[in-house]
Amino acid sequence: MTDFAHCPSDSEQLRSEILHKMLGTVAAEPSRATKADLYQSLSQVARERLALRWVETQNDDRANHARRVYYLSMEFLIGRAMNNALSALGLRETAEAAFGEPGPSLDEVIECEPDAALGNGGLGRLAACFLDSMATLGIPSWGYGVRYEYGMFAQSIVNGCQVEKPEAWVQDRSPWEFPRANKHHTVRFGGTCEHHGEWAEWHAADSVEAKAFDYVIPGHGTERVSTLRLWKAAAPAEIDLGAFNTGDYQRAAEFKNRFENISWVLYPNDSTSAGRELRLRQEYFFVSASLQDILERHESEYGTFTNLAEKIAIHLNDTHPAIGVAELMRLLVDEHGMAWADAWDQCRRIFSYTNHTLMPEALETWKVTLIQRVLPRHILIIYRINQEFIDEVLRVYPGDMDLVRRVSLIDDGNGHDKDKRVRMAHLCIVGSHRVNGVSQLHSDLMVQTIFADFARLYPERFHNKTNGITPRRWLAQANPALSALLDERLGTREWRLHLDRLAELRPSADDVGFRAAFLAAKRGNKLRLANYVARELNIRLDPDSLFDVQVKRIHEYKRQLLNVLHVITRYNALLDGTAGDVAPRSVIFAGKAASSYHMAKQVIRLIHDVASVVNSDPRTRDLLQVVFIPNYGVSVAELIMPAANLSEQISTAGTEASGTGNMKLSLNGALTIGTEDGANIEIRDNVGADNIFIFGNNTAQVNAIRAAGHQPMDFYNNDPALKEALDRIDSGFFSPGERPRYHDIFNSLLHYGDHYLLLADYADYVATQKRVDALYLTPDEWQRKAILNVAGMGPFSADRTIRDYASDTWNISTL
């Protein structure tokens, strides 16, 4: 790492560079500069240095005829760029010294930056962590995605309810982006096809321009950088001009809109967005532009496509870019004259695919009729791929038409053409040489359930790649207090690049002095969060209370409602004197609900209603506080993760593919209370079963309960504490102004089957929370276990994940 201890002359020099830049960028006089002005000019300094690194990296890769990895993702949840850029450039400490009295501090300046929130949650943040690791490991790598005008909505809370506000994250332009005026590709839609044997001529009805905007992704401990290239849709120039010339402004505007809306807004990850035509256009738009770009680069370097699979690997982040399989075939066969069989051989060696969910309702399918209309050439390609695949299946399993029906790329519906659908996951599996899940459990379940037939057909294709997170953003930058302590104790800054070195911390768990320092770092982080909560929500949190944190998208399977049931149970027990020895707790929630997801929004409202009752009760105020921190996103997470004592990872076993928040919290010294789900299991294996609170039914038990017919009413009738908690929700105790407000929540549990088995896990959850209290009341033991959590997190670095992808999936070497 090159963040040298700064010397005063460096910071003087940086200061004058910043002030000099100020004139050219914001035309402001230094003495009148606002924080935003300082942010703008500092970002220009960083931008120029990143640009230099970018040019050199590209020159190197071209000169070395490097094999490249292309990561295709509809989402990149980047967050702020400044702190990460300064760290990577080795400028953080110098910049810290260059700011401050009489002006604002570096941290105040950094806070001017809006988050780049071009993603919904875990999948998008994973893509961002992977870019960081790919650059750091020196992999010639490009991310490709969409430059949404509006990314994730901003969440505010009005009377306890979520309100969404569109957020234009770049007003005009971002200081971090490089618009590439000469990089654009035409993406076509609709029309008809004319066949010429193996290939076809596509007479498209419409076209749109994809314009490239590049973001430099700095590597850490290396001068190499990666590129995130995002595409913005623009109306084709000639159409625009045509309308303009006839003076028909209205028509010009309509045309512009019709095309430019393609990159307008990020789709939510809820089922209501499934099947929307604009989403399909968005997927094809960015995939086609990216593949054209990739082929153009390859052709300019080699003048042939025969060596394509030797020189490129393309990764599909879930099925969202799945149409790429058909598009690469189209480009190679129709546009570049390659024989179908050769193109298919290349295709399978080039693509790999990650699955992020087992839930059947979340598996992407598109109506055949829709693809036919929007992408007439691609539906033919998909049918041909399917025919050849089925022929292959029948050669191995002659006559097994049941198997054929199950694995076919086309779901036949009931035989009516209008109901036929393309199964995008099947297209990905058939078109790739590697398929992976994101935790060991998830990968195992994947081959045992949704992809069992494919795993039998192609056993060598299926792998596990347990997710990871970048230790640079999630520890070094988010938690300077703990980082300084680690540097001191480990005698090195190396853990930032070799997270396994945290294992050397284990002996320090028994060192009283270290435990005290560890506690002090945590307390500082809790104070920082408490100050934020006081400022934003006017709620006082006791920094010595146990910070119990559940932060993630609000979804029924993640079971925030189970957490609420525990809070109510605790409140009731405190009131009736049966609580026993409890540790003072601050229960902290954060997360967004998809705007059309009624149940999730009800849960947010319930949390607020419970909070207002509990927080204002003088009988319990010192022992229990509940807060909901609005607008959860990368930057809010950077504040919360370091301050947590307890990490809630309580999804129904078998539903959370991996989770990555679980890793961020544990890495920052929180203990986990969690189910045997996703990566929780591997976290247990690495931190030690004594240092984590695992509870509830495992996947086998969940299956057995469901098979026997889950009876939520039995749990309700036989557990008085549970009954009391549920009745309080249902009776309007927390919503006295509107007593029926939570009937739907109550009914979903008692009368509509409690699909996620909250009631089956409730008793063990509450009992386990009691053990959490007992441990927190033994601070030495708590600190010891918290330290052992940090020490065990080495394997959860995204660097480890990316090394595994590089060797098993992409066949590329790393630094």
316 close to 83: Cβ distance less than 8 angstroms: no
326 close to 316: Cβ distance less than 8 angstroms: no
- Mask for 474-493, x = binds ligand 26Q (CB under 6 A): --------------------
154 close to 165: Cβ distance less than 8 angstroms: yes
Please tell me whether residue 274 binds ligand 26Q under the rule CB under 6 A: yes
Whose structure tokens read 């980047």? 78
By beta carbon distance, the residue nearest ligand 26Q is 122
587 close to 632: Cβ distance less than 8 angstroms: no
Query: Judged by CB, which is closer to ligand 26Q: 364, or 609?
Result: 364
Query: Judged by CB, which is closer to ligand 26Q: 659, or 794?
Result: 659
Query: Judged by CB, which is closer to ligand 26Q: 346, or 668?
Result: 668
Distance, CA of 66 to CA of 185 (rounded, Å): 24
Among 327, 453, 556, 656, binds ligand 26Q (CB under 6 A): 656
Tokens representing 730?
């249902």
Query: Judged by CB, which is closer to ligand 26Q: 362, or 763?
Result: 362
Q: Is 558 a catalytic residue?
A: yes
Query: Nearest 5 degrees, angle CA 268-CA 269-CA 274?
Result: 90
Query: Judged by CB, which is closer to ligand 26Q: 297, or 434?
Result: 434
Among 79, 104, 114, 122, binds ligand 26Q (CB under 6 A): 122
Q: Is 664 a catalytic residue?
A: yes
Distance, CA of 29 to CA of 510 (rounded, Å): 55
- The single residue of 664, 684, 741, 785 carrying the catalytic annotation is 664
Please tell me whether residue 423 binds ligand 26Q under the rule CB under 6 A: no
**Residue 409 burial (C-beta neighbours within 10 Å; 0-12, 13-18, 19+):** buried
Please tell me whether residue 120 binds ligand 26Q under the rule CB under 6 A: yes
Q: Is 384 a catalytic residue?
A: no
- The single residue of 21, 356, 555, 784 carrying the catalytic annotation is 356
Task: Name the one range near ligand 26Q by CB under 6 A: 6-14, 484-492, 656-664, 800-808.
Answer: 656-664
Helix (H) / strand (E) element for 447: namely: helix 440-448
Q: Report in angstroms how near the CB of residue 747 gets to ligand 26Q at its nearest.
A: 26
Counting residues that bind ligand 26Q (by CB under 6 A) gives: 22
562 close to 650: Cβ distance less than 8 angstroms: yes
Helix (H) / strand (E) element for 586: namely: strand 585-590
Distance, CA of 130 to CA of 135 (rounded, Å): 8
- Mask for 689-728, x = binds ligand 26Q (CB under 6 A): ----------------------------------------
Query: Judged by CB, which is closer to ligand 26Q: 230, or 623?
Result: 230
- The single residue of 125, 211, 552, 570 carrying the catalytic annotation is 552
Please tell me whether residue 121 binds ligand 26Q under the rule CB under 6 A: yes
Q: Which of residues 666-685 bind ligand 26Q (CB under 6 A)?
A: 678
Q: Is 566 a catalytic residue?
A: no
Q: Report in angstroms how near the CB of residue 764 gets to ligand 26Q at its nearest.
A: 22
Q: Is 660 a catalytic residue?
A: yes
Q: Report in angstroms how near the CB of residue 615 gets to ligand 26Q at its nearest.
A: 31
> Cα–chain-centroid distance for residue 115?
14
- Mask for 563-592, x = binds ligand 26Q (CB under 6 A): ------------------------------
Nearest to 587 by CA among 639, 624, 640: 624
Q: Report in angstroms how near the CB of residue 391 gets to ligand 26Q at its nearest.
A: 30
Q: Report in angstroms how near the CB of residue 126 gets to ligand 26Q at its nearest.
A: 4
Q: Report in angstroms how near the CB of residue 119 gets to ligand 26Q at its nearest.
A: 8
- Mask for 80-119, x = binds ligand 26Q (CB under 6 A): ----------------------------------------
Axis-axis angle for helices 680-687, 779-791 (nearest 10): 110
Q: Report in angstroms how near the CB of residue 588 gets to ligand 26Q at its nearest.
A: 20
- Mask for 325-364, x = binds ligand 26Q (CB under 6 A): -------------------------------xx----x-x
Distance, CA of 223 to CA of 228 (rounded, Å): 16
Q: Report in angstroms how near the CB of residue 122 gets to ligand 26Q at its nearest.
A: 3
Q: Is 552 a catalytic residue?
A: yes
Among 44, 227, 545, 658, binds ligand 26Q (CB under 6 A): 658
- The single residue of 421, 553, 555, 585 carrying the catalytic annotation is 553
- The single residue of 311, 377, 421, 558 carrying the catalytic annotation is 558
**Residue 231 burial (C-beta neighbours within 10 Å; 0-12, 13-18, 19+):** buried
Q: Report in angstroms how near the CB of residue 130 gets to ligand 26Q at its nearest.
A: 10
Query: Judged by CB, which is closer to ligand 26Q: 121, or 151?
Result: 121
Task: Name the one range near ligand 26Q by CB under 6 A: 248-256, 266-274, 284-292, 668-676.
Answer: 266-274
107 close to 663: Cβ distance less than 8 angstroms: no
Please tell me whether residue 657 binds ligand 26Q under the rule CB under 6 A: yes
Task: Name the one range near ligand 26Q by CB under 6 A: 44-52, 65-73, 414-422, 655-663.
Answer: 655-663
Among 72, 123, 579, 798, binds ligand 26Q (CB under 6 A): 123
Distance, CA of 779 to CA of 133 (rounded, Å): 36
Please tell me whether residue 450 binds ligand 26Q under the rule CB under 6 A: no
Query: Judged by CB, which is closer to ligand 26Q: 123, or 131?
Result: 123
Residue 635 amino acid letter? S
- The single residue of 94, 466, 660, 675 carrying the catalytic annotation is 660
Please tell me whether residue 438 binds ligand 26Q under the rule CB under 6 A: yes
Distance, CA of 356 to CA of 126 (rounded, Å): 11
Distance, CA of 661 to CA of 554 (rounded, Å): 13
- End-to-end CA gap in the chain: 14
Distance, CA of 338 to CA of 348 (rounded, Å): 15
- Mask for 499-538, x = binds ligand 26Q (CB under 6 A): ----------------------------------------
Among 46, 126, 583, 758, binds ligand 26Q (CB under 6 A): 126
DSSP for 550-566 reads EES---GGGTHHHHHHH
Q: Give Cα separations from 202 to 122, 189, 191, 336 (angstroms).
A: 37, 10, 7, 14
Among 54, 259, 267, 366, binds ligand 26Q (CB under 6 A): 267
Distance, CA of 495 to CA of 487 (rounded, Å): 8
Tokens representing 791?
């020490």
Residues in the chain: 815
21 close to 41: Cβ distance less than 8 angstroms: yes
Residue 362 has a CB neighbour count (10 Å cut-off) of 15
Mention every residue, 6+ apart, whose C-beta is less than 8 A from residue 607.
Answer: 560, 564, 589, 626, 628
Q: Report in angstroms how near the CB of residue 236 gets to ligand 26Q at its nearest.
A: 27
Query: Judged by CB, which is closer to ligand 26Q: 57, or 357?
Result: 357
Nearest to 94 by CA among 155, 32, 42, 150: 42
Nearest to 351 by CA among 272, 430, 448: 430
212 phi and psi angles, rounded to 5 deg: -85, 135
Distance, CA of 519 to CA of 346 (rounded, Å): 55
Distance, CA of 300 to CA of 163 (rounded, Å): 49
Among 269, 282, 525, 686, binds ligand 26Q (CB under 6 A): 269
Distance, CA of 768 to CA of 694 (rounded, Å): 8
Residue 246 has a CB neighbour count (10 Å cut-off) of 9
Q: Which parts of this chain interact with ligand 26Q (CB under 6 A)?
A: 120-123, 126, 267, 269, 273-274, 279, 356-357, 362, 364, 438, 467, 656-660, 678
Catalytic positions are 356, 552-553, 558, 660, 664
